A and B are shown apart, each in its own frame.
Chain A
Amino acid sequence: MKRIEVLKTYKLYIGGKFPRTESGRYYTPEGRGGKVLGNICQGSRKDFRNAVVAARSVAGGWGKRDPYNRSQILYRIAEMLEGRAAQFEDELKQHGSTAAAARKELQVAVDQCIYYAGWCDKYQQTFSSVNPVASAHFNFSVYQPMGVVAVFAPEKSALAGLLGTILPIIAGGNACVVLASESKPLCAITLAEVLATSDLPGGVINILTGNRDELLDNVSTHMDVNAIVASDLTDAHKAAIKANATHNLKRVIIRKEDPAKSESPYPILATQEIKTTWHPIESSIAAGSGY
């Protein structure tokens, strides 16, 4: 007799926990050959707010962790991801990828984790500066994470695009709330299971599924979000996000290049503030002049 397969209940990932949406709503995206993928949570405004609270509560601590530690955690994500390769490949195929394309995307995704793990303790050293001011001061500029970043993940690239978007954000010490690809949500949901077992503190990455049109205004007007990173936006979405962002002057970063394909430290810098610190240098000729 054929064994009955156990199906998975797809959930959100908020503050390290796996709730269904508080709204009780779901949607049923179709995969390859029009097959319904499942009852995917249609995340609500309230889910988003809860996720921002979770992100804010851990953003400070995550940003202050040693870069070495963040680096190891990103490396751990790669380890967990590799171990689940077959599952991700299967989901990518359900989303319509060929076996070869699915294999390739998984490999790119794992390699991106390694790539950005390496940047955690290098971008500061590479892009900070000691500024040669024309006075007796020690003056230096360093990067500091923006805080909580909301993400509209790429719609078409379910895994590599998603990781290429969020890894630079967390590598730089931010926490984020991600709205996954609406049509291809499976990898995002499984990624949450990877993250939950990879030493990443709960709340650093929160993953919602749902409808972009519905949540766009709620996300971009939220007053405790510092920045928005987005891909695959329509012109109307772009304009709406930028106009909404004026309420608290969120930084709006629209990825022009495909995050699945563009490995670079610049997406890390895009969600960093630059802080410049001055301090006088005492001159031995004029004692006390240091202040």
Chain B
Amino acid sequence: MAKKKSSPDWEYASAPETTAVNIAKRYDHFINGKWITPSNKKYFATTSPSTGRKLSEVAEGSKKDVDTAVKAARAAYNGVWGKMSGRERGKYIYRIARLIQERAREFAIIETMDGGKPIRESRDIDIPLAANHFFYNAGWADKLEYAFPNMPAKSLGVAGQVIPWNFPFLMAAWKIAPALATGNTVVLKPAETTPLTALKLAEVIADAGLPDGVVNIVTGAGETGAAIVNHPDVDKVAFTGSTGVGKLIQESVAGADKKVTLELGGKAANIILEDAPIDQAVEGVVNGIYFNQGHVCCAGSRLFVQENIYDEVMWKLKQRMDTLVIGDPLDKNTDVGAINSKEQLRTIKRYIKEGVKGGADIYQPECDLPTKGNWCPPTVFTNVAQSSIIAKEEIFGPVLAVQTFRTVSEVIEKANNTPYGLSAGVWCDKGSRLFQVTGALDAGVVWGNTFNKFDPTSPFGGFKESGYGREGGLHGLGAYLDLPL
């Protein structure tokens, strides 16, 4: 574990999570209820970002593999899943939820090994929330006529789903659970750097006895994802990832009659007003940007502090950053884990360099980073111009850009002055002012006096270029239903 040089000058004893987990040497595609070798016989390695060690290798999905998976999903939709009563569908989904709960620790450890996030997060957030998503949606399956009154609750057919590497298991649950509850079948592709927990989920799905072909999991990189979204027999495309790729997807399926939902990037404003509870706000800022190493689309990457409390906030924030434990993600004390991939680390470093070059002041706590793996210390930039690249572009790393403001109307203007609109945060002790600001922010999720909270009952999704459609809650079901308009 990383040594802390700064105060307090005591160290935590290491507390690694040691439960044994079972990772196979090689994984095939999960298609039609069976493990299928890739048609081109190619596999690629998935490594641990915290050690650089190879964990396993997974199949490289070709167009042909995707076609096989879509055919299996179509057959399952026509043959069994599309006709099954909601009650029975729901019972299968409940089973999945329970099996995830039973194997939660194993999945948390694999998630942390494959993705680099602290075990504290995968154990307490990612996996339990994923189970909850299945549990919540399972109950909808036989109640859909109450979700959209006077509308037929008609499923779409085959859903093609492409998910990112920042919350691999949780995103799989977000995507698969509502699709199944609404009567669709699924072809899902996990990200190429974090395929393992989706493949473990395939084991759960098989154990739950789901009919063959209802859920198919194909691994691969961007080309495999493109083959899924562009497949002519895919009725629904659900994508979570960057705004750039999301736009490419919308463009590539523009000529097809597919229902699309996109959950894309963000550059959330986290706003501290002068009367805010400062200690709690600082905690929220840290959670907002350093949670999951900042690999969070809704991360609070822009901090706005009212001028008269700026010095106090920054002093407390830096002090708090000094106490963050950075290192082995499997250690239960770790606050900030490994950067997900070498490529992402390069991107983050490029932005940090740009920030320094642009004249902003940088602060990083002193800490010994492990020598192997991909690491970036928590970073904060002050004196950041609204026009600077680190205040405008999504970095997707532990990098915070701080700006100040004088009036509420000024900060609303600045916060909304971005093409993104996924999330925002406001810290304020006065209810009327809090609701003035939350109401005025153009963002799909707004946290008042908290940040980065998620729940299966709570719709998630963005305004503007952060994508469209909602996931979660009653409203999220609409993304998987054919609602006539």
Contacts and interface: CB of A to CB of B under 8 A. Distances in A.
Interface of A: 129, 131-135, 137, 139, 141, 226, 235, 238-240, 242-243, 245-249, 251, 253-257, 262, 264, 266-267, 270, 273-280, 290-291
A239 B464 contact: no
B150 interface: yes
A253 B443 CA distance: 20
Q: Which 8 A-B pairs have the closest CB atoms?
A: A291-B280, A242-B254, A133-B455, A243-B254, A239-B255, A279-B448, A131-B457, A246-B247
Contacts of A255: 485
B64 to A, nearest CB: 27
Contacts of B460: 276
Interface stretch (B315-323, B333-341, B469-477): B469-477
Contacts of B251: 243, 246
Contact of B246 (A137, A249, A266): A249
A287 to B, nearest CB: 13
B132 A134 contact: yes
Contacts of B458: 131, 133, 139, 141, 276, 278
Given A139-B457, A262-B485, 16 more contacts: A240-B254, A242-B254, A243-B254, A245-B250, A246-B247, A246-B248, A249-B467, A257-B484, A273-B444, A274-B459, A274-B475, A276-B458, A277-B445, A279-B447, A280-B449, A291-B450
B485 A257 contact: yes
B23 interface: no
A278 to B, nearest CB: 5
B150 to A, nearest CB: 7
A275 B444 contact: yes
A42 B286 CA distance: 56
A243 B247 CA distance: 9
Interface in B202-252: 243, 246-248, 250-251
Contacts of B16: none
B438 interface: yes
Interface of B: 132, 148, 150-151, 243, 246-248, 250-251, 253-255, 262, 264, 277, 280, 283-284, 419, 434, 438, 443-450, 453, 455, 457-461, 463-465, 467-468, 470, 473-475, 483-485
A235 B464 CA distance: 25
B3 to A, nearest CB: 31
B16 to A, nearest CB: 28
A240 B254 CA distance: 7
A26 B66 CA distance: 52
A164 to B, nearest CB: 12
A12 B468 CA distance: 32
Given A239-B254, A246-B251, A279 B450 contact: yes
B459 A141 contact: yes
A275 B448 CA distance: 13
B44 to A, nearest CB: 30
Given A129-B475, A249-B468, A291-B277, A134 B254 contact: no
5 contacts: A248-B464, A266-B483, A278-B445, A279-B434, A279-B448
A238 B254 CA distance: 8
A275 B280 CA distance: 24
